[in-house]
Structure formats: C-alpha cells, structure tokens
Amino acid sequence: MRFWVMKSEPDVFSIDDLKREKKTGWDSVRNYQARNSMRDDMQVGDLVLYYHSNAEPSGVAGVAKVVGPAIADPTQFDRKSDYYDEASKKDAPTWLMVTVGFVEKFASVIPLEALKAEKALAGMPLIQKGQRLSVMPLSKEHFVKVLSMAGAKTSVS
C-alpha cells in the first residue's frame, strides 16, 4: 500500500464535508502529474493525508482512504462546469478521478509550519518549496510520523 497527500480548499470541500458525505469523487484535478499518480500508482486501500490549503491554518486536517479506482472525471464533459474540457473525448477521457472515503478528522489541524519544523519530515514532498500538486506521494515513515503528531486514531500495520 502507498501513502498520499491530497489537497483541498476547505471553502470548497473540507474534511467535515467528507465526513458528512462519507466519500467523494476527487474530481476537477487538471494537472497531468497528479492525474498520472491517480491512474498509475493509486490503489484502493491506500491511505491519504487530507490537507487543507488556503486555510486558517493550512495543514493536515485528517485521514482519508482511496475507496474507488481512477475513472473518468465527469466534470470534463459538463459544459456548465468550470472544469469542462472541450478537447476531451468520451472514449478516451483526459482527466481521471479516484473516489476517496472518510477515515478520521484530527482533533486539530497540523499546520504546515509544524510539518516544516519537524526534522523527521525533512524531504517530505508536501513541504518542499514551490510544490503545488494537489495529489502527491509520501513515504510510510512520514505518514506515520504525521499520524503520531496528530495523536491520530488511525494506525498503519
């Protein structure tokens, strides 16, 4: 199993929204690298750190899980969507999404600042300067470290 960070603006879709809805299609990703991660490397059962961006504070808000494989993102075919992609073909969709399920909301958000200050997380892709991917991998060790910082209930075997 692999471990991931997935980012969402809480004004758009927060960990509380995920908790209420139980699961959601991770649509609207329009970055090839993030798409390729979902298509090639994500598997059902993988665990996800749920990151709030453009938030107060920005940071890891909880844990989610990949519960459905990469399928066509319907927003690319929806003319009314901001994410409509005229060039994408139904039989060969450009953009994909996985389905993500709620696992746990942390007692408090682990702010980006705290992640950067933690020596054991050096090298974690999320905290590298200039990274803007909405879906990115991290190591099991880093994942477990963030769980312990959060006092999380989730455990990794």
Q: Which region, judged by CB under 7 A, interacts with DNA, from 53-61, 69-77, 102-110, 145-153? A: 53-61
User: Distance between CA 156 and CA 143 in Å, rounded?
Assistant: 9
Residues 131, 40, 65, 69: what is their CA dihedral angle, to the nearest 10 degrees?
Answer: 140
Q: Which is nearer to DNA, 63 or 135 (CB)?
A: 135
The answer to whether residue 31 forms part of the interface with DNA (CB under 7 A) is yes
User: Distance between CA 102 and CA 15 in Å, rounded?
Assistant: 8
The residue type of 23 is K
The answer to whether residue 14 forms part of the interface with DNA (CB under 7 A) is no
The answer to whether residue 129 forms part of the interface with DNA (CB under 7 A) is yes
The answer to whether residue 30 forms part of the interface with DNA (CB under 7 A) is yes
Contact of 96 with 103, CB cutoff 8 Å = no
**Of positions 54, 78, 108, 153, contacts DNA by CB under 7 A:** 54
Residues 32, 38, 39, 44: what is their CA dihedral angle, to the nearest 10 degrees?
Answer: 180
123's tokens: 């090298």
**Of positions 113, 123, 141, 153, contacts DNA by CB under 7 A:** 113
Smallest gap from residue 129 Cβ to DNA (A): 6
Smallest gap from residue 157 Cβ to DNA (A): 30
62's tokens: 């909880």
**Of positions 36, 53, 88, 99, contacts DNA by CB under 7 A:** 53
Q: Which is nearer to DNA, 119 or 130 (CB)?
A: 130
Contact of 14 with 24, CB cutoff 8 Å = no
- Interacting residue ranges for DNA, rule: CB under 7 A: 7, 9, 30-32, 53-55, 58, 112-113, 129-134
